[in-house]
Amino acid sequence: MKRNIIYSIIAFLLLTSCGAGKHLPTQTEQRDSVRVEVRKETKYIKDTVFLTVPAQSAENTTRDTSSHLETDYAESDARIAPDGTLHHTLRNKEQEKPVPVDVPVTQKDSIVYRDKFIYETVEVERELTGWQKWQLRSFWILLSGLAIFVLRKPLLALIRRFI
């Protein structure tokens, strides 16, 4: 009965003894992430372009009593000749004509995203508590006592041999 209690106490002390302290290594990890996003956007803007109308001329001679020549930008002269023919002259004036057009304007925009992550592990030192110091000292005492208890018969035989 006494032996079972002693074995239980020894097993309890062995299972609850202190373990090695955890040492966190100091390390710094840097990760730099760069992402470039390019956007192209095309907008159509109404604009006015001036077209140059070239100088043109046209003539028509007929025996009819009336003649008609017409353009958007023209001068017309008509006359009846002495022999009874109608002479008609049409001249375009050289000018610039405004024409509305849609002009495509492309905008290219680049956005650079830079994410910087810094992970730093810092080791924090602290004093051991009284209980932890006692556990460190008593472990070796308990271990030697257990070794003597387990090896008591061979040790006693060895001692008797030399006495």
In a domain, residue 36? The reply is no
Q: What's the total number of domains in the chain? A: 1
User: Over the range 58-93, which residues count as b (16 or more CB within 10 Å of their CB) and which as e?
Assistant: eeeeeeeeebeeeeeeeeeeeeeeeeeebebebbbe
What string of pLDDT tens digits covers the 163 residues of the chain? 777 788 888 877 777 766 565 655 656 566 667 788 888 889 998 888 887 777 777 777 777 666 777 777 788 888 887 887 877 777 777 777 788 888 888 888 888 888 777 788 777 788 888 988 888 889 889 999 988 888 888 888 888 888 8
In a domain, residue 148? The reply is yes
In a domain, residue 143? The reply is yes
Range of the domain at 140: 127-163
Q: Give, rounded to a whole angstrom, the gap between the first and last alpha carbons of the chain.
A: 33
In a domain, residue 105? The reply is no
In a domain, residue 90? The reply is no
In a domain, residue 153? The reply is yes
DSSP 64: S
